[in-house]
Amino acid sequence: MTHLYELQGITREYGNKKVLDVPELRIEKGRIIGITGPNGSGKSTLMRILAFLEKPSSGDIFFKGKRVRDIDESLRRKATLLLQESRLLKRSVFDNVAYGLKARGKTEGLSSRVIDSLSIVGLDPSKFASRSWFELSGGESQRVALASRLILDPEVLLLDEPTASIDAGSAAIIKSAILETRERLGTTVVTVSHDLDWAYGISDEVISMFSGRMHSLGPENIIHGPWERAEEGTLLKKLDDGQVITASGFPGSSKTAVIDPEDIIISIDTPENISARNAIEGTVTRMNLENGSGRILMTIAAGGQVFYARITTLSLQKLEIIPGSAVSIIFKATAVKWI
């Protein structure tokens, strides 16, 4: 099977610092891939490489099965990236949305295509098309920026933090516009986001990045140090409310650990006589239906730490958990993995 993108041994260095190290990545056509991870994990660099805006320091990129050697605008025009700091051009909304088509010399039916694109992102063309760039709110600007990409009928739509700093209403509209475009054109979408609910809500698959590398473990439960060494070689992390996370093994240089949401069991009672070393009490703050798995991603706050656990809708109904419910988060010390 030919993948839309195939990355082999890709690295990117700025000076002596390696910011990206991706031994292998394959992206199938028509999929929505979510990429999550903390700041500085290399997400934006990867996006610029996928958008052909930046060349990797080493490694090979195959696009539609062909090795990418030289990057020119014909290749760059196959993918479009909505930047994290999306800038509107200093011109009207209409001219912003029309820019990409004009650059390609495709001016036939331009007005109707601009109107369609603005409608897809929930902006009334009769109100917004003639507005200047400075007459828009943050959410409206982001939607105009997205419309400027959607009008291009892109094969690949790359979104770098598309919902950062915008209201929930705009985020929901952006989500439906992306899903509609994928449905209509079979567009491949790669979206970077800090917002796990957004990433899981829209993506078929979520990839986690940390320190420039991709991890098979999810990005949800990242636990930073300091850790205290305890008896029997275990390590302890004290939470703000005095509860303790117990981990085993040897921490890496980052002193950062993750817990796979799949390794967490949720209980509505305080468990007794269990083999797992960790039973943390917390409160459910959010529950979101995942697009890819069809399961519920539950967010639980405990002692200043946020935990994520994944359960089925059947379990949710059985346990009768709602946001605000007190639950216990149960996991083994060996479930705490060092990265």
CA 135 vs CA 95, 151, 174, 257: distances in Å:
14, 21, 20, 45
Q: Which of 89, 268, 301, 314 binds another protein (CB under 8 A)?
A: 89
Q: How many helices (H) and strands (E) does the chain have?
A: 9, 21
Least distance between another protein and beta carbon 83 (Å):
6
Does position 321 interact with another protein (CB under 8 A)? The reply is no
What one-letter code names the amino acid at 237? K
- One symbol per residue from 179 to 198: x for binding another protein (CB under 8 A), - otherwise; what is it? --------------------
Cβ(290)–Cβ(200) under 8 Å? yes
Q: Which lies closer to another protein via its Cβ, residue 80 or residue 328?
A: 80
- The answer for residues whose C-beta is within 8 angstroms of residue 331's C-beta and 6 or more apart is 259, 263, 264, 265, 276, 278
Q: What is the DSSP string of 269-301?
A: S---S-S-SEEEEEEEEEEEE-TTT-SEEEEEE
Q: Which of 13, 53, 213, 279 binds another protein (CB under 8 A)?
A: 53
Cis peptide before 251 (omega within 30 of 0): no
User: From edge to edge, which strands make up the β-sheet containing 5-14?
Assistant: 66-67, 58-63, 5-14, 17-27, 213-215, 205-210, 32-36, 188-192, 156-160, 79-82
Q: Which of 81, 196, 311, 327 binds another protein (CB under 8 A)?
A: 81
Q: Which lies closer to another protein via its Cβ, residue 148 or residue 193?
A: 148
Q: Which of 8, 18, 99, 180 binds another protein (CB under 8 A)?
A: 99
Does position 85 interact with another protein (CB under 8 A)? The reply is yes
Stretch that binds another protein, among 96-104, 223-231, 251-259, 290-298 (CB under 8 A): 96-104
Does position 104 interact with another protein (CB under 8 A)? The reply is yes
Q: How many residues appear in the chain?
A: 339
What one-letter code names the amino acid at 335? A
Least distance between another protein and beta carbon 125 (Å):
19
Does position 70 interact with another protein (CB under 8 A)? The reply is no
Does position 100 interact with another protein (CB under 8 A)? The reply is yes
Q: Which lies closer to another protein via its Cβ, residue 157 or residue 309?
A: 157
Residues found near another protein in the complex (CB under 8 A): 51, 53, 73, 76-77, 80-83, 85-87, 89-90, 99-100, 103-104, 134, 148-149, 152
